[in-house]
Amino acid sequence: MKIKFTLNGTLIEKDVPVNKRAIDFLRDDLGILSIKEGCGEGECGACTILVNGKNVHSCLMLAVELDGKEVITVEGLKDNVIQEAYVEAGAIQCGFCTPGFIISTKALLNETLNPTPEEIKEALEGNLCRCTGYVKIEKAVKLAAKMYKGSDSND
Amino acid sequence: MIKNYFRPSTIDELSELKIKTNGYLFSGGTDLFVKIRAGAINTDTVIDTKYLENEELKIENKKLFIPLNTTYTELRKFIKANQINPIIENIVKTIGSPMIRNRGTPVGNIANASPAGDFVLASYLLNASVILKPSSKKIPVEEFIKGPGKIELEKEEFIYGIELEILDDYKFYFEKVGRRNAMIISIASIGLLIKEDNEKIKDIRIAFGSVAPTILRNKEIEKSLIGEKIDKNLFKYLANEFFNLSSPITDVRASKEYRKQLVYNLTLKAYINLYEKVVI
Ligand SMILES: Cc1cc2nc3c(=O)[nH]c(=O)nc-3n(C[C@H](O)[C@H](O)[C@H](O)COP(=O)(O)OP(=O)(O)OC[C@H]3O[C@@H](n4cnc5c(N)ncnc54)[C@H](O)[C@@H]3O)c2cc1C
Ligand code: FES
Ligand code: FES
């Protein structure tokens, strides 16, 4: 089936098999390698992407469902603020989970730059990390929010 | 393997496709695609309901109407903006994760008819009716759900929406016991709504998830408690009744004995949290 959508700001038109999952299409056909497959069933969040501004699992979605949508992955974020905050806070070890966390962080910070600790926990509850123990990830989110607010006031 | 994918935009088109292809409907796909992947469902046709021109979330005659394709995230926003049924927020925020709530739908949860379905429990508590199309039948949820995964749907029918009561001035409690915080498929859950009149019960609704083939609620017991004084003894009586009424199974998540004990303990815990104000 023919679909048309924007991926990280670029308009894409492609013919995709209807049984293909969004994760396979984006990763294998379009080379978006930040998207990882951990569990393939909605449990780990490594495959998280933004579709029309909302974070969703690309493993539980068909490629044809991307039709008409605006899709953002880590490759297409407008700045590196969240990535820098994760590095700064030491929130990355093996890095497999990181793109998913960054996308969920982006979804949260799109809603608010003053997240409460509860809001941060809720925003990240669908992302699993086997390495860091989460404390530094929560710090990274707070730091990213601060960095965004800082850059706002400079504008 | 999926060979055909359809996007009907009208009720009739959807209904005809369903008859013709015998395909599976989906909205969020958070149940369907997990099952297809696990091999529990094998279908060559899926019907995407998200292109249907359906109504919006609305409040009418003290009822909340949730159409198909409404996600949990959209429902939460609506509930908050309109300040109704706060118990729904308590229940929905425990469903899956932000990603699941951004795609998953209450209607999908009802269609799935799992005794662990958290929105199924919410629907039982709020005396929901399920609205079908094209027939326009309106069926109480406890009649619509026949057993685990079993619903009353004719070949041409699909769920168009759910209608729930809007309740004012009720105390409420919800708790789900599972193995980790986010994304728990419950081992057992309790939902409780109480309206008081001078420390006595004016209305009480109590429902349990995952401890029987469907959500466990008993309207006779509820009715018999109207006018009773609210105290610990009353909840001990309730805990005993539901301990006896529950008929859980043993599965990978917990044994049936453990689940029965949870029914008892959760009932008392609900009382303690609501009336003895112990902060946990
Ligand atoms: C990681 C994860 C965590 C989860 N956590 C929870 C949880 O905490 N609590 C909980 O209750 N559930 C949970 N679920 C299950 C699931 O997310 C919910 O049941 C959700 O509400 C399903 O909605 P959906 O729109 O995604 O359903 P879909 O997958 O789109 O559909 C579900 C089923 O309903 C049928 N169907 C869909 N629409 C209609 C219709 N209009 N008429 C008739 N039949 C229809 C489909 O054919 C399918 O069989 C979880 C799932 C995952 C993957
Ligand atoms: S790969 Fe999608 S949630 Fe794990
Ligand atoms: S850094 Fe290794 S899984 Fe998170």
Please give the number of the atom of ligand 1 that sits closest to the Cα of B71: 25
Report which ligand 1 atom has the smallest distance to the Cα of B116. 11
Answer whether B5 sits within 8 Å of A45, measured CB to CB. Answer: no
Inter-chain CB proximity B2 and A56 less than 8 Å:
no
Q: Identify the closest residue of chain A to B99 by CA–CA distance.
A: A56
Q: What is the pLDDT of residue B179?
A: 64
DSSP result, A74-109? GGG-S-SHHHHHHHHTT--SS-SSHHHHHHHHHHHH
Q: Per-residue pLDDT tens for B195-221? A: 999 999 999 999 999 999 999 999 999
pLDDT (tens digit, 9 = 90+) per residue, B30-60?
999 999 999 999 999 999 999 999 899 999 9
CA distance A49 to B280: 36
Single out the residue of B130, B243, B226 nearest to residue B190, CA to CA: B243
Q: Do B29 and A104 lie within an 8 Å CB cutoff?
A: no
Question: Residues with Cβ < 8 Å from B256, sequence gap 6 or more?
Answer: B248, B249, B250
Report which of B108, B89, B90 is spatially closest to residue B50, judged by C-alpha positions. B108
A6 lines ligand 3 (CB under 6 A): no
The residue whose two tokens read 């003895």 is B276
Angle CA A51–A55–A59, to nearest 5? 85
Please give the distance, rounded to the nearest whole angstrom, from the Cα atom of residue A141 to the centre of ligand 3: 16
A38 CA from centroid of ligand 3 (Å): 11
Residues whose beta carbon lies within 6 Å of some atom of ligand 2: A 37-40, 42-47, 57, 59
Using H for helix, E for strand and C for coil, what is the string for A18-55?
A: CCCEHHHHHHHHCCCCCCCCCCCCCCCCCCEEEECCEE
Query: What one-character DSSP code corresponds to residue B23?
Result: P
pLDDT tens sequence for chain B (280 residues): 999 999 999 999 999 999 999 999 999 999 999 999 999 999 999 999 999 998 999 999 999 999 999 999 999 999 999 999 999 999 999 999 999 999 999 999 999 999 999 999 999 999 999 999 999 999 999 999 999 999 989 999 999 999 999 999 999 999 999 865 545 568 999 999 999 999 999 999 999 999 999 999 999 999 999 999 999 999 999 999 999 999 988 888 888 999 999 999 999 999 999 998 655 5
Q: Given CB atoms, is A125 within the 8 Å cutoff of chain B?
A: yes
Residues of chain A with pLDDT under 50: 154-155
Count how many pairs of residues, chain A against chain B, have C-beta atoms within 8 Å: 74
Residue A154 has a pLDDT of 44
> What ipTM is given for this predicted complex?
0.96
Distance of CA B10 to the CA centre of its chain: 27
| 3-state SS track over B24-93 | EEECCCCCHHHHHHHCCCCCCEEEEHHHCCCCCCEEECCEEEEECCCCHHHHHHHHHHHCCCHHHHHHHC
pLDDT in the model for residue B119: 98
- Residue A56: closest C-alpha in chain B: B99
Buried b (16+ CB within 10 A) or exposed e, B173-198: bbbbbbeeebbbbbbbbbbbbbeeee
Strand partners for A140: none
**Closest ligand relative to B98 C-alpha:** 1
Domains in chain B, ordered, with CATH?
4-48 (3.30.43), 58-165 (3.30.465.10), 171-276 (3.30.390.50)
- DSSP-derived letter for residue B275 is I
Instruction: Answer whether A91's CB lies under 8 Å from A121's CB.
Output: no
Token representation of residue A142: 């707070």
Which residues face B211 on adjacent strands? none
Q: Is A4 in the pocket of ligand 3 (CB under 6 A)?
A: no
Nearest Cα to Cα of residue A55 among A135, A8, A129, A110: A110
| Cα–Cα distances in angstroms (integers) from residue A80 to residues A74, A106, B6, B232, B252, in the given order | 9, 11, 39, 56, 43
What is the rounded CA–CA span in Å between residue A39 and residue A23? 12
Strand pairing class (B24-26; B45-48): parallel
Within the 64-83 window of chain A, which residues sit less than 8 Å (CB to CB) from chain B?
A: 64-65
CA angle (B130, B132, B136) in 5-degree steps: 115
Ligand 1 center–CA B153 separation, angstroms: 17
| Domains defined for chain A, CATH in brackets | 2-76 (3.10.20.30), 81-149 (1.10.150.120)
Which chain B positions have a beta carbon within 8 Å of A61's beta carbon? Answer: 29, 33, 103
> Could you please report the per-residue DSSP string of B132-199?
EETT--EEEHHHHEEETTEE---TT-EEEEEEEE---S-EEEEEEE-SSSTTPPPSEEEEEEEEEETT
d(CA A135, CA A142): 11
Atom of ligand 1 nearest to the CA of B95: 8
pLDDT value of residue B250: 86
Q: Which of B152, B155, B111 is CA-nearest to residue B16?
A: B155
Residue among B104, B116, B95, B94 at smallest CA distance from B34: B104
User: Residue A152: its pLDDT value, please?
Assistant: 61
Q: How many CB atoms lie within 10 A of CB B27?
A: 23
Q: Please tell me the distance between residue A45's alpha carbon and the centre of ligand 2 in angstroms.
A: 5
